[in-house]
Structure 1
Amino acid sequence: MQLEGSCHCGAVTFQVDSPHPYPYQRCYCSICRKTAGGGGYAINIGAKADTLQVTGAEHKRIYHARLNGSTSSGERHFCGTCASALWVYDPDWPELVHPFASAIDTDLPVPPERVHLLLDSKASWVDPDVGKHDKCFEGYPEESLAAWHERLGLVR
């Protein structure tokens, strides 16, 4: 599925192909929560890095989070004008890019279940909205984005 996204002010727009477009993972870690998660979590989608096309890249900035005193290799791309979170890229997985669902303008499919991850670092004020079929994890689940889509027959 081709996804189109943008920042709030429109300075940065992008397109990317995603075989895994369901916005089903809610990440409660402090990095996602503080850089992109107004509801106490952020949602990333899986996409193919080699298909990413960006307009207005000169307005884009990159943030490398600090983890236990070390700088993460993950690149959190955001608009330098309006600060909208756009996508995460990690050179450890060069074939992938993870757009934030909040930056996607294309209608996304509704997931049949959700995964709530890194609940061990959620903010005390966050009360996760866990559905009947949702799965919850204190850390990372073993099932990847691709495997989740495949298990549910949702690969596009």
Structure 2
Amino acid sequence: MGKWLYSTQILLIVCYLLLEKSRHYPVLALSMPPITKTTIHSSCNCKKVVIEIQLREHQNANGNKADNDVINCHCSFCRKYHTSGYTSFLSVGKENVSVCHGNNKIGIFLSECEELGTVERWFCTECSSKLLSMPLPHDDTKNDSRDKIKKVGEKTTTTICYVNLGPIQDDEIISPDLLTRWKKRLEREENNLHHNDGGGGGVWVKALPPAAITTSSNTYINDDIINELDENPILWTGSCACGNCAYELTIDYPTELQHCYCHLCRELSGSGFMTWIPIEKQNFRWVNKKSCSLVRTTPFGRRHICMDCQGVMTIIYDDQPDHVWPSAGGLDDSSLPTTRIDMGNYLNRVCHICCRYQPAWLKIPDDGMEKIDDAC
């Protein structure tokens, strides 16, 4: 009994000493690295929808670690919906994205993505700008849910959404370091999803004309292809994501691709650029115009837009009534050549236009083709 009392007294003394010591030397709590928050905005072309995005970064001795990432998705579903060569996304926690105004102007198209599964595609119902994609939980999807219009009021339980980089406001104060990191990450192989041999999911995206004869205007002439097309024209087809707008192109002479980086193309597609193909009107034919509408989008041109899925199909310039400019992003992969080299044989020119509007997070390819500040 005496030994037990003695041990208890010793234990009490030790506890007392530790308590006294802690009053003078408090235990340091495990601290998290400081978090930096940056607020940026995305807006549609008509400015009736504005989305606020909170970016979070943890600062530590090894530099900044962001809670968000950027990716390019080259899958066929994303290319069709955005009618672009690929789609550039900023992944953000759902709780860090909010609609500042224009909730009643947001429409949702239910579609697929080879990376994300079934997704809600948000767009502006007034101007067709593409805003973000929201993956749906797998247990909430149904076999008949692909490519259907859905009302905005229905909630999902996802934790991550993918904001289109194209409509991110250029006048925002985004640190140059962050923009540089985005650009570098978008050039990495692992940040480019569902593309083939580094060339992009669409065979046309990095196709170049054969450098047989170079003229002063940087166009390329391939006599063999010209003779071949003269005798046997080829047929390319295209459509929107829902299929309610579809067309055929007769290629009887080498054509060109113009990659455009202007604000309007980036907002309408949600990506960093759109690509246009000049086609004589006699060589363009609508196969299906069920939901197609010709919309005035600039003082000098109109665009055919699907009113169901909001796919931007063509440009018709006021001063070129005999030409149609379909978006290459709407071309059906199955109707095109299978390699970039073969695709290039049907091109006599590739150029990059409106390069002065190039977003800071996007690198224009160093492909030796013309880079023009404005439209040509």
TM over 0.5: yes
User: For 1:61-91, what per-residue CA distance to the aligned partner results, in whole angstroms no more than 9, with x for missing partners?
Assistant: 233224xxxxx23111121111111111123
Could you tell me which amino acid in structure 2 is paired with residue 76 of structure 1?
Answer: R
The answer to whether residue 266 in structure 2 is matched with residue 33 in structure 1 is yes
Aligned-pair CA distance for 1:20: 4.0
State the partner residue of 2:323: 96
Query: In 2, Cα distance between the equivalents of 1:85 and 1:48?
Result: 19
State the partner residue of 2:373: 138
Query: In 2, Cα distance between the equivalents of 1:80 and 1:41?
Result: 21
Q: Taking structure 1 as the reference length, what is the TM-score of the superposition?
A: 0.73
**Counterparts of 1:36-75 in structure 2 under 5 Å?**
36=269, 38=271, 40-66=272-298, 72-75=299-302
Going from structure 1 to structure 2, the CA distance change for 1:98 and 1:112 (only over 3 Å counts) comes to closer
Query: In 2, Cα distance between the equivalents of 1:91 and 1:112?
Result: 24
User: Unpaired segments of 5 or more residues in structure 1?
Assistant: 67-71, 142-156
Aligned-pair CA distance for 1:4: 1.0
- What stretches of structure 1 move > 4 A for 4+ residues in a row? none
Going from structure 1 to structure 2, the CA distance change for 1:20 and 1:81 (only over 3 Å counts) comes to farther
Query: In 2, Cα distance between the equivalents of 1:21 and 1:107?
Result: 14
Larger-gyration structure (1/2): 2
Query: In 2, Cα distance between the equivalents of 1:4 and 1:79?
Result: 16
Q: Taking structure 2 as the reference length, what is the TM-score of the superposition?
A: 0.33
State the partner residue of 1:149: none
Root mean square deviation, CA, Å: 2.2
Kindly indicate which of the two structures has a greater share of residues assigned to helix: 2
Going from structure 1 to structure 2, the CA distance change for 1:33 and 1:11 (only over 3 Å counts) comes to same
8 Å contact from structure 2 (residues 255, 349) kept in 1: no
The one of the two structures with greater contact order (alpha-carbon pairs below 8 A, sep at least 6) is: 1
User: Unpaired segments of 5 or more residues in structure 2?
Assistant: 1-233, 338-342
Query: In 2, Cα distance between the equivalents of 1:139 and 1:49?
Result: 25
State the partner residue of 1:121: 357
